[in-house]
């Protein structure tokens, strides 16, 4: 049994999440976890670092074999080695896919902030379409709204699944509906699945595996960054079944930074060769319990509404009831809890709350937030 209650000392780790908080502020923002990285990965990195030679890296075919075996075991899908293309990390992979397509691209909002900035990075126009949300705070892609804004110059759609920040893991039916829409309008799907192993419902389906048409016109991207808690060791991979799409993608990547280095390659071998499977399972169990605790606590605060989190470790909190344009500032100043402002995902009056931390830290953050809202409510009267 791994002990996720232990609090690793982040001092000296050069972590942006902890660097930006001072005093007793609790960092419940940036999407990495306040747990040690996966132990087999740490060991592999330490062993590799002890080797005194750091030449140019060579990616062994064996690493592809590990990824292939992992996808077979976890999702029951068969990947051919040539479908895998290494990328410097997921976002440069998304940029390469956007640039190879040219033209406009679209996605549903709210959306992970870095993706929302890509139109500037890739120098391409974007169309953002709000998601649907029902009376139970359940979010889904609004297919009618996507259809309504379509134009021939839109060439691709970015899917984020599991979704950052609303925490959806899309069902097979939803993915098939999206696939039918994209096939009909000849849109390439760029599926960002960096959170795929943080699916807490056991239902994630890699986009390329949802149907033959999905496989034929898509770029699926993922990495070990989130699941093994190694986002500071950038690397990732694209799965592209269509040969001509793959060749265009590869030529777009030429001249970019190398994909991985000798340290990340050692880490990736352990991330996918099965050594971390037990740790990953126990992590998901711990996260499920954290999620349930956090959802139950927020459900008691009438000013805050949250959709049920199906994956990622990020809760999307609608704080409209607090009557402030900047609820992140509210919690920072009144509760000494740093959360991410919803504004960067497309919605002010919302915040994103990261619950991937030892339970004692989670409870402390929840206590502080609840108390801050209680005091605010009393003073309002």
Contact 161, 170 (CB under 8 A): yes
Stretch binding ligand PLP (CB under 6 A), from 62-70, 89-97, 141-149, 265-273: 89-97
- How many Å apart are CA 286 and CA 332, to the nearest integer? 26
- How many Å apart are CA 343 and CA 289, to the nearest integer? 28
Selected from 112, 286, 298, 345, the binder of ligand PLP by CB under 6 A is 112
Stretch binding ligand PLP (CB under 6 A), from 84-92, 167-175, 258-266, 353-361: 84-92
Under the binding rule (CB under 6 A), the answer on residue 234 touching ligand PLP is yes
Strand-pair category, 188-192 with 154-160: parallel
Nearer to ligand PLP, 167 or 236 (CB): 236
Nearer to ligand PLP, 312 or 361 (CB): 312
Q: What stretches of the chain show up as alpha helix (H) in DSSP?
A: 16-19, 39-50, 61-75, 90-101, 113-116, 118-122, 143-148, 172-184, 212-216, 243-253, 262-272, 277-299, 327-335, 359-380
Under the binding rule (CB under 6 A), the answer on residue 225 touching ligand PLP is yes
Sheet holding 154-160, edge to edge: 84-87, 236-239, 218-222, 188-192, 154-160, 104-109, 126-130
Residues of span 192-221 touching ligand PLP by CB under 6 A: 192, 194
Stretch binding ligand PLP (CB under 6 A), from 8-16, 46-54, 85-93, 242-250: 85-93
Residues of span 311-370 touching ligand PLP by CB under 6 A: none
Q: In which residue are the tokens 């970015």 written?
A: 158
Instruction: Give least dist CB 275 to ligand PLP, A.
Output: 21
Selected from 28, 31, 276, 356, the binder of ligand PLP by CB under 6 A is 31
Contact 169, 162 (CB under 8 A): yes
Nearer to ligand PLP, 238 or 336 (CB): 238
Selected from 231, 260, 327, 358, the binder of ligand PLP by CB under 6 A is 231
Choose among 151, 144, 163, 143: nearest CA to 127.
151
How many CB atoms lie under 10 A from the CB of residue 378?
A: 8
Stretch binding ligand PLP (CB under 6 A), from 86-94, 140-148, 174-182, 324-332: 86-94
Nearer to ligand PLP, 315 or 322 (CB): 315
- How many Å apart are CA 191 and CA 189, to the nearest integer? 6
Selected from 40, 236, 327, 358, the binder of ligand PLP by CB under 6 A is 236
Selected from 4, 95, 156, 164, the binder of ligand PLP by CB under 6 A is 164
Residues that bind ligand PLP (CB under 6 A): 31, 89-91, 112, 114, 160, 164, 192, 194, 223, 225, 231, 234, 236
């Amino acid at each position: 049994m791994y002990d996720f209650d232990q609090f690793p000392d982040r001092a000296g780790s050069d972590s942006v999440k902890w660097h930006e908080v001072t005093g007793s502020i609790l960092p419940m923002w940036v999407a990495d976890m306040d747990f040690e990285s996966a132990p087999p990965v740490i060991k592999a990195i330490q062993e590799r670092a002890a080797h005194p030679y750091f030449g140019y890296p060579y990616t062994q075919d064996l690493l592809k074999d590990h990824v292939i075996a992992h996808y077979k075991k976890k999702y029951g899908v068969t990947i051919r080695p040539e479908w895998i293309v290494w990328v410097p990390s997921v976002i440069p992979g998304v940029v390469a896919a956007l640039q190879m397509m040219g033209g406009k691209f679209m996605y549903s909002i709210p959306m992970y902030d870095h993706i929302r900035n890509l139109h500037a990075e890739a120098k391409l126009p974007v169309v953002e379409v709000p998601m649907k949300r029902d009376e139970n705070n359940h979010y889904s892609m609004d297919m009618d709204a996507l259809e309504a804004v379509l134009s021939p110059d839109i060439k691709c759609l970015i899917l984020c699944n599991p979704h950052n920040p609303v925490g959806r893991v899309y069902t097979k039916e939803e993915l098939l509906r999206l696939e039918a829409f994209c096939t009909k309008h000849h849109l390439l799907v760029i599926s960002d699945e960096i959170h795929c192993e943080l699916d807490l419902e056991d239902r994630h389906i890699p986009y390329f595996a949802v149907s033959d048409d999905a496989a034929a016109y898509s770029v699926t991207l993922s990495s070990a960054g989130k699941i093994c808690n190694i986002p500071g060791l950038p690397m990732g991979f694209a799965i592209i079944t269509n040969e001509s799409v793959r060749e265009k993608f590869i030529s777009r990547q030429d001249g970019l930074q190398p994909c991985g280095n000798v340290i990340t390659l050692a880490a990736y071998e352990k991330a996918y060769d099965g050594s971390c499977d037990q740790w990953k399972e126990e992590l998901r169990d711990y996260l499920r319990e954290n999620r349930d605790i956090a959802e139950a606590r927020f459900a008691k605060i009438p000013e805050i509404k949250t959709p049920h989190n199906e994956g990622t470790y990020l809760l999307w909190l609608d704080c409209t009831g607090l009557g402030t344009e900047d609820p992140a500032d509210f919690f920072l100043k009144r509760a000494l809890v740093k959360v991410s402002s919803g504004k960067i995902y497309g919605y002010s009056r919302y915040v994103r709350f990261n619950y991937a931390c030892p339970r004692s830290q989670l409870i402390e953050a929840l206590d502080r937030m609840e108390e801050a809202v209680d005091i605010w409510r009393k003073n309002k009267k």
